[in-house]
Structure 1
């Protein structure tokens, strides 16, 4: 836990030092009470982002909690922990694309380029999906062999092999879903995505997982299938939202938001 806290705090401290100690001379002009002007819209946006991410992160935690009530819970949780650990490693790649999507889409919209925003969304999603598909094939092929990196217990390794198709599907979905969440943050759709996460994860995914796991006796596989179904529905909805978005109109919305906190040249040409 100490190492985790350090890993989370050191980048924050480093960024604060970088911003305030002269490396951002053209954008940082010191502390000012203007930072508190029109603060409530920023707070609402931050709360929406926090709720969106919490609903997403708590999803895997619920998966582990539900698995604890299954038969052979010790082996099942061991196997599930290994799968989630591998999934978390792959997620680091997707989170990189998540951050890139946030920044790139926001920058393109901020400078008035609807075409640039659409191009960024398409390229980031396709690139992340291509990497995810390669990893999907990799984990589908090696199955329980990967478990021996974590354990020497044959029963746990066999349980990991049994779960490997679901792990591979999770990796494939997670190569797209976080990127779309990044697009949503860059475009300012946090509130919408928070509702999507709530519905897909907790109204669809968890109940379906409980039914498959307990009523149909699929155990941990049933719970994970339910979770995957919720994630699949969420990914489809985010894809539809991104596809149907009028990016030219989104540029106008973004410029209206920017005008509240920054000086925007009124005669600046909007690139469609």
Structure 2
């Protein structure tokens, strides 16, 4: 039942963190203009985030319920819910974005995403309450507000932020730098970022599953099985990454046309995709190893590796080579 208590504490911590996040999102236009972004791009980005903010609290709840289920070995339930809602999201995106009757246009995509987040959150709560066993639930209590418990979560969370968020933020900084090279370079960067982010989901998801599985085995004092699970996850992640590398290499000259028909952007993307193909192997490996480190409680180690690799070496070198 302590699982339910820690979930409540996580909810309290999320509520506190949502306040500055919403403030940033709702003032994104001014922030982006200060970062020397195009005014029209800043306006549209701010408009997008304002609509997407409607689903931000639900997204926080999704992360809590997902861990709640995974800790009990219910790995398939969040996947089933997300799969069903993903299909609904596609229909909503097309309907809200392209319907001649609603006239939402650009706003349709973030609104459909926000609605989908709320649907997943609501479905997760209903499934957790009505369908699955509630033995792990803890009655709502003021213990969730205890400073020591919140401090423990914050300490562990900061390690996770350093390990995972620092990597994502690095790519956002690269996007800001690319925008200074012009709209075509930014468009090419967007194509590459969407592509690599999409392919990264496979090894990252495998890393999450490995983290939970290895953590359970270590908790059961079965280090040999935990080691076997780590090796299996690593090899499977490497195989998946090699498949993505081959796809990017073979289709490097045609890949950009999946996103737009601009010839200059396609040439830029095609010239960089061989490097992206090589990068897949290392990026996929990082996704798996990161999960293994989290399972062993080594978030700080992963954070230090990411911070040094991205912010001490990678980004400064990339900016130097670009400008």
Correspondence for 1:185 among 286, 294, 299:
294
Cα distance per residue 1:173-200 (max 9 Å; x no partner): 2211111111122221112222221111
Provide the residue aligned with 1:87 in structure 2: 196
**Residue 174 in structure 1 maps to residue 260 in structure 2:** no
Does the C-alpha gap of structure 1 residues 185 and 10 become closer, same or farther in structure 2, counting only changes over 3 Å? farther
**Residue 28 in structure 1 maps to residue 137 in structure 2:** yes
Provide the residue aligned with 2:179 in structure 1: 68
Correspondence for 1:129 among 230, 238, 241:
238
Correspondence for 2:211 among 96, 102, 114:
102
Shift in Å, 1:90: 0.7
Deviates more, 1:196-205 or 1:8-17: 8-17
Does the C-alpha gap of structure 1 residues 6 and 115 become closer, same or farther in structure 2, counting only changes over 3 Å? farther
**Residue 53 in structure 1 maps to residue 164 in structure 2:** yes
Report the Cα distance in structure 1 between the residues aligned to 2:199 and 2:228, rounded to whole angstroms.
24
Provide the residue aligned with 1:218 in structure 2: none
Does the C-alpha gap of structure 1 residues 23 and 30 become closer, same or farther in structure 2, counting only changes over 3 Å? farther
Does the C-alpha gap of structure 1 residues 15 and 106 become closer, same or farther in structure 2, counting only changes over 3 Å? farther
- Gap runs ≥5 in structure 2: 1-109
Report the Cα distance in structure 1 between the residues aligned to 2:175 and 2:309, rounded to whole angstroms.
18
Provide the residue aligned with 2:265 in structure 1: 156
Shift in Å, 1:29: 4.6
Does the C-alpha gap of structure 1 residues 128 and 160 become closer, same or farther in structure 2, counting only changes over 3 Å? same
Q: SS state of the match for residue 254, structure 2? A: helix
- Gap runs ≥5 in structure 1: 215-272
Report the Cα distance in structure 2 between the residues aligned to 1:87 and 1:164, rounded to whole angstroms.
10
Does the C-alpha gap of structure 1 residues 180 and 14 become closer, same or farther in structure 2, counting only changes over 3 Å? farther
How large is the Cα RMSD of the aligned pairs?
2.0
Shift in Å, 1:162: 0.6
Does the C-alpha gap of structure 1 residues 35 and 109 become closer, same or farther in structure 2, counting only changes over 3 Å? farther
Provide the residue aligned with 2:305 in structure 1: 196
Provide the residue aligned with 1:264 in structure 2: none
Shift in Å, 1:33: 4.7
Does the C-alpha gap of structure 1 residues 95 and 13 become closer, same or farther in structure 2, counting only changes over 3 Å? farther
Q: What TM-score do the two structures reach when normalised by structure 2? A: 0.61
Conserved 8 A contact 1:18-1:24: no
Q: Alignment length, in residue pairs?
A: 212
Report the Cα distance in structure 1 between the residues aligned to 2:290 and 2:173, rounded to whole angstroms.
20
Report the Cα distance in structure 2 between the residues aligned to 1:208 and 1:34, rounded to whole angstroms.
48
